Amino acid sequence: MKKFTITIMLLSMFGMLSGQSIFLNRPSRTESAIVLEKGVFQFESAFETELAGEASEREKELLLPGIKLRYGLGWGIELRVANQYETFRDKLVSVSGLADIDIGAKVKLFKGNDEKSEVALISHFFLPTGNNGISNERVGNETLVLVWHELNERIGIEYNIGYSNFEIDSEKGNLVYSLVSDYEIGDKSGVFVETYGELVEFEELEASIDFGLAYQFNDNLEFELAAGTGINHKMLFALIGLTWRIGERKDEY
């Protein structure tokens, strides 16, 4: 049974201001290279629904809700833990329960002197704590190199490349990639478009595209929407999310 990580679901920063994101979270597949500041705590939650496969073999997955907790430890390090309640259905089975817990860390590797580029590394492990039929029943890992560039005051790009191996039927693992461009509409909102995919078992490419928006009610509370589709495979997804931050943003570098 194919699973999708919360990092695929809730992810990263959005918009640009003085080399930092003014947004708390962007609901894209691309992980941001920007690390939470020391002492900052961030709560992210989203509801996602996904349809995959041809009509005769369609799979439906609901994440209700997905929850991620992030904490800025300082020294360019961010800790995170995530989990979700999943419902999976196809023509033969229907199962629900908690997924495997996701524990990881993000480490800042580089920040340009002009504050217009950053590089980080993220690695997280999936521990087989989920319910039967939902759990991948083994320890898995995903590790990504994260890169961010500001093109101008309103437009930025980010991209990831790395390796994942956590699904129950995976042998070689997958090469994963993503590329996103985002545009700041105003002081409180922004939009993005993204392409992403994976080379499954280093043999078959699955490519997708998505788009979305985020609206910030204040400095610590944000609402997010996103939707996407497969390019060379049958898949549709949509999500709605909320992000809440506690603590002041302080640039340590």
pLDDT one-digit tens code per residue, 187-210:
889 899 999 999 999 999 999 999
Domain architecture of the chain: domains with CATH: 6-246 (2.40.160.40)
- How do residues 49-80 score in pLDDT, each as one tens digit? 999 988 777 888 888 888 999 999 999 999 99
- The vertex-128 CA angle with 96 and 134, nearest 5°, equals 20
At 135-169, the pLDDT tens digits run 999 999 999 999 999 888 888 899 999 999 988 78
- Residue 229's pLDDT is 96
Tens of pLDDT, residue by residue over 217-231, are 998 999 999 999 999
Report d(CA 148, CA 120) in Å as an integer: 9
What local confidence, expressed as pLDDT, does residue 12 receive? Answer: 37
Contact call for residues 88 and 1 (beta carbons, < 8 A)? yes
User: CA–CA distance from 60 to each of 93, 104, 146, 174, 206 (Å)?
Assistant: 11, 27, 30, 22, 18
Q: Is the pLDDT of residue 185 over 60?
A: yes
